[in-house]
Amino acid sequence: MYDLIIIGGGPAGASAGRAAGMAGLKTLLIEKAEFPRYKPCGGGLSEHAKSFLDFSIPKNIQERNISGIRIFYKGKVVENEKKKIFSTLVTRSMFDEFLMKKAEETGIEIKMSEKVIDFNEHDNFVTIQSNKSKYKSKYVIIAEGAGGAQDIKIPLENYGYMKLKEEYDIEFYDMSQDSHSTVNLLDINIHPMPIQTSNLMLDPNNYIISAAVMKTHGLAVVTLGLKNIVLAAPMNFGQGKNERGKLHTEPMMEDPRYFNYNHFMMSQYAFPDLTVIDGFVGMEGKGPLFGDPIEVGVAIASTDTIAADRIGTDVMGHDFNNVGHLVHCANTKMGVGDINKINLLGDKVVNCRKNFKRVENWEKIIKWN
Ligand SMILES: Cc1cc2nc3c(=O)[nH]c(=O)nc-3n(C[C@H](O)[C@H](O)[C@H](O)COP(=O)(O)OP(=O)(O)OC[C@H]3O[C@@H](n4cnc5c(N)ncnc54)[C@H](O)[C@@H]3O)c2cc1C
């Protein structure tokens, strides 16, 4: 049995391997590629990153030192030059191979061209299954990089969702593996913009439940039940090929009318049958990714998603009329947006309201009309 198995031999895995080897741990590093391998990367190595290395980088791997920066944006150029070096450029294929050698020289075992495909946790050890063999280790470090987690089973296991599968007899489905059809939205020139969309989401026979979190959003003002589904429908093929990106291009983001109209258009194809909004802890400020938690303590559920989102928007202390895609849906009778026509069960909105801090670009994104 190993003390430690490391999956992946990029900079993270190789550095962990060297540290483990120097600490005298019986270590195995498994890397699926044969080195040197190509790695898409700018190769900019900051001085801070270099400060973690206990050895110097050979001259033949250093391509050049960077002491200045030049940014081109919309015909403008911004330049700044410092007296000191703040980054060194390396070619990743050479750099990663060098780091691997530095790990190997500490005496750890390395297996190249071997891919880890599964693992199982036991009380005092972990079993690792690769495409070639099975191993046992006390500890495991997963250093597979951003493109590694192609198999949804691993995160589902890690977060304990697989237990739900046994308890409730449900299936998990990786939507990036789904078949897809074209939905045409609107591009910046008012031409059809084909979006490859999950057939699972498009099938009217499927009952879709949106389990959304209450958050502010830097393009949509707020994100609730509808947006949660509308942007889950475009295919994410992995490796940076995400159809959703077509709705977030720079010219589109300059004009909120496109964003809101396209969300409304996609709602015609992929629409939740039931919305459940988790507002126990929401996100305010720089949502939907970098905001702050805000305790609200509410849950909102409705088979009318627009009504649920209307109540959610009110609870957040935002004006429903600022949320263009929801107003489009309400105006075209896809749901009820008029607060006076919603039969609200439970506490009154005024008793639950928490005024969520707005996103910084709020004034720009409410101009959707
Ligand atoms: C276009 C681009 C430009 C970038 N530019 C910069 C930059 O200039 N400066 C900077 O600091 N960062 C940059 N980055 C980020 C940088 O590339 C990553 O932060 C870095 O590679 C992460 O290192 P890692 O060891 O975690 O993962 P990786 O370098 O991705 O290494 C992971 C390794 O794990 C292996 N692996 C994956 N799955 C398995 C498996 N199942 N079994 C066995 N092995 C497996 C892979 O083959 C790979 O070798 C850039 C990234 C991109 C995409």
In CATH, what number is assigned to the domain containing residue 102?
3.50.50.60
For the ranges 133-147, 214-228, 245-259, the one whose mean pLDDT is highest: 214-228
- Ligand 1: which of 30, 32, 53 to mutate, judged by most atoms within 8 Å of the beta carbon? 32
Query: 98 CA to middle of ligand 1, Å?
Result: 15
Which of 121, 144, 172 is the C-terminal boundary of a domain?
172
Which of 131, 148, 172 is the C-terminal boundary of a domain?
172
Confidence label for 146 from pLDDT (cuts 50, 70 and 90): confident
Q: Is 326 helix (H, G, I), strand (E, B) or coil?
A: helix
Query: 151 CA to middle of ligand 1, Å?
Result: 17
Please state the domain count of the chain. Answer: 3
Q: How far is CA 44 from CA 35, 40, 74, 239, 278, in A?
A: 20, 12, 24, 21, 41
Instruction: Clarify whether residues 102 and 76 are in a common domain.
Output: no
Question: In this structure, what are the phi and psi dihedrals at residue 235, rounded to the nearest 5 degrees?
Answer: -70, 140
Which of 114, 142, 172 is the C-terminal boundary of a domain?
172
Its domain, for residue 251, covers 175-365
Instruction: Clarify whether residues 30 and 58 are in a common domain.
Output: no
Ligand 1 lined by 17 (C-beta under 6 Å)? no
**Model pTM score:** 0.62
Instruction: Clarify whether residues 314 and 275 are in a common domain.
Output: yes
For the ranges 111-125, 198-212, 243-257, the one whose mean pLDDT is highest: 198-212
**Mean pLDDT on 189-213:** 96
Ligand 1 lined by 143 (C-beta under 6 Å)? yes
**Mean pLDDT on 242-263:** 90
Instruction: Clarify whether residues 206 and 342 are in a common domain.
Output: yes
- What is the structure's pLDDT at 336? 98
Instruction: Clarify whether residues 276 and 339 are in a common domain.
Output: yes
List pLDDT tens digits, range 98-117: 999 999 999 999 999 999 98
Instruction: Clarify whether residues 164 and 182 are in a common domain.
Output: no
Query: 80 CA to middle of ligand 1, Å?
Result: 29
In CATH, what number is assigned to the domain containing residue 255?
3.40.50
Instruction: Clarify whether residues 220 and 313 are in a common domain.
Output: yes
Instruction: Clarify whether residues 250 and 277 are in a common domain.
Output: yes
Residue 55 contacts residue 29 (beta carbons within 8 Å): no
Atom 27 (ligand 1) nearest CA = 145
